[in-house]
A = this chain, B = another copy of it.
């Protein structure tokens, strides 16, 4: 059996990407990134989604480190958390940089 020689990302951002793989969650995250924390009731009132559906989506985002929650009395409020987006952006930047390098090498070859 040959040793694996695929390039591995430094960390594993795949759970972050998986959490972003849903249109409703992308909308929730974009909404929360304005820096205001929100309750499930408020997010549910802003959409046609049930509290149950909103709760499920927020927990997926929370498990991926994309939002954080704080309990005030009997109410949970959810806020944007910037760390995971940075990890996901970092992976995409590495891929793009490697591709840009490949294009530059190709251009040099053509010009030489």
Q: Are B99 and A35 in contact (CB under 8 A)?
A: yes
Contacts A35-B103, A46-B2, A88-B92; is A30 near B7 (CB within 8 Å)? yes
Number of interface residues of A (CB under 8 A): 53
Query: Which B residues touch A45, using CB under 8 A?
Result: 2
Cross-interface CB contact of A6 among B1, B31, B98, cutoff 8 Å: B31
User: Quick check: is A22 within 8 A (CB to CB) of the other chain?
Assistant: yes
Q: Which residues of B contact A19 (CB under 8 A)?
A: 21
Are B8 and A14 touching (Cβ within 8 A)? no
Q: How many copies of this chain sit in the oligomeric assembly?
A: 2
Main SS at interface, chain A = helix
Which chain B residue has the least Cβ–Cβ distance from A29? B95
A22-B26 CB under 8 A given contacts A1-B48, A35-B99: no
Q: Which residues of A contact B (CB under 8 A)?
A: 1-2, 4-9, 12-15, 17-23, 25-31, 33-36, 43, 45-48, 80, 82, 85-86, 88-89, 91-96, 98-99, 102-103, 105-106
